[in-house]
Structure 1
Amino acid sequence: MAGGLVALLDDIAAIAKLAAASLDDVAAASAKAGSKAVGVVIDDTAVTPRYVTGLSPARELPIIWKIALGSLRNKLLFLLPAALLLSAFAPWAITPILMMGGAYLCFEASEKILEAFTGGHHDEAAAEITDPKQLEDRQVSGAIRTDLILSGEIMAIALAELADQSLVNQAIALALVGVAITVGVYGVVALIVKMDDIGLALAQREGAGAQAFGRGLVSAMPVILKALGIIGTVAMLWVGGQIIVHGLEHFHLTPLPEWIHHASLGARETLPAIGPVAEWVVYAALSAVVGIVIGGVIVGLLHFKPKKH
């Protein structure tokens, strides 16, 4: 998926060059900035399918479309102007805002883990919703809210790669990155959630091979969607944890970031055959541990504080 997104950004760059030579720098910057954000894009793709799990199959694509539009609105109407304004007038505020967003992701993931172990629901009013439209609206709003945090990280990473560009070029490049990544993410999400329909279509075709593959796909999809739900929760933890760790490093609170960095480099040196993968896995795992600690503290403060009589 990462390669497909980078290729998509490269296509956008090519179109920009044909349209006007003056946009060469913007196109190149867009491709560079987009490729740097691919790691968060993968997390975004893993998180989103859980918001359509359990809803009517007929509503899956319309729901994804609503979330995709909300994601574009997040990026183009809110995050892009905010990023440019903060970059120009209050660059010191970007990291604290990202850290608050990271803490929210950790909180959301920790809530999901608490629910899995207790069988409860942190939002009792939402748990009692029986009207399909209200449930759909709640799922869409929750997905767009989570997307806002992940998109904020994507735009911040992209903006960091555009520091040498003019304000106009930054705006154009961020818009290109936002559109391309949204199309890539939600195109893949739509494909994932409709794989069972693809399996049914294959099962009805002539040919034993196609039928067997189609039936296998249909049987596997509940397991795949459940696994994606787990991956999505873990992704929220490691992305949120990474944001916190990077923020601590930015403010020169380095003991924890340095320990995580050294541990991940140690994994790379210990397993040279899969060095980059080992480094990423250890860094992500330790960031997730930071995320569960931060999220657990917030959940504890909100759920177990003394009630007023």
Structure 2
Amino acid sequence: MSDDLVIRNMTRAELDQLVDWAASEGWNPGVHDAALFWATDPDAFIAAELDGALIGGGAITSYCGEFGFMGFFIVRPEFRGRGLGNALWHARRDRLIARLRPGATIGLDGVFAMQDYYARGGFVFSHRNLRFRAEVPDRRPHSPEPSRADEAIVPLDEVPFEDVLAYDRTCFPAAREAFVRGWIRQADGLALGCLRQGRLSGFGVVRRCVEGCKIGPLFADDADAAEALYAPLAAFACGGPLFLDVPENHPAAMALAHRHGMAEVFGCARMYFGPAPGLVHKRIFGITTFELG
């Protein structure tokens, strides 16, 4: 077999294959992730081809050229240990740098075992994002009373979209209008907003995944707003497992996971190539995805 690796853009069908591989790796993608990710940035998906066969791939998502995110890095097990993944990873990093404005930051969530490898590629550790799991009873609990008299939980499509985008921008390093529009309206999902005196004070999305459901993002002004959103989002997953990816650098977010009896099952190191972005970390109770940021 020749080791003449071809690095190229993926086809839409190959992205489906990459998502299937992610499921086999235990990453538990959402049932509509492939379509939503492709709609966000179809040029983000990079294939590694060897002797005419797809052997690996990954995403290099550009958000308006202002911020990049590397994710979905997979090489089929039988092709590992030959330097092919190393070639693919560096090609993806360099292609993403070329897609961004000069000096723009790139983020990634890498498994802990690869942290030193990514550091050698120029990425600096920021914090850990930890995946928590809970078993949701096979019944829908009664809706809890709002934690504040001036607080209301509403379908997110009742909130002006520009307000949702503005709130998201405080928790993410760049505008991502196309992604947010599709993400909050996806099938097999639920998107809710928390209003205080008519002002958006947080929002969250839960979606069906290969196994159970996953909340992401969960953004809120404070623990009360996060709690008010968590309960109805969790109820969407009744009868199965629920997952939430929590930034360890936010004590109130960790406390929410522990308060609901969630158990840590996985984790990634958030790392940045370039300056760490200035985010309102106290609002981030759950990140959106490990794959696109």
> So what's the TM-score if we normalise by structure 1?
0.24
Higher helix share: 1
Higher strand share: 2
> So what's the TM-score if we normalise by structure 2?
0.25
Asked which structure has the greater CA Rg, the reply is 1
Higher relative contact order (CA 8 A, sep 6+): 1
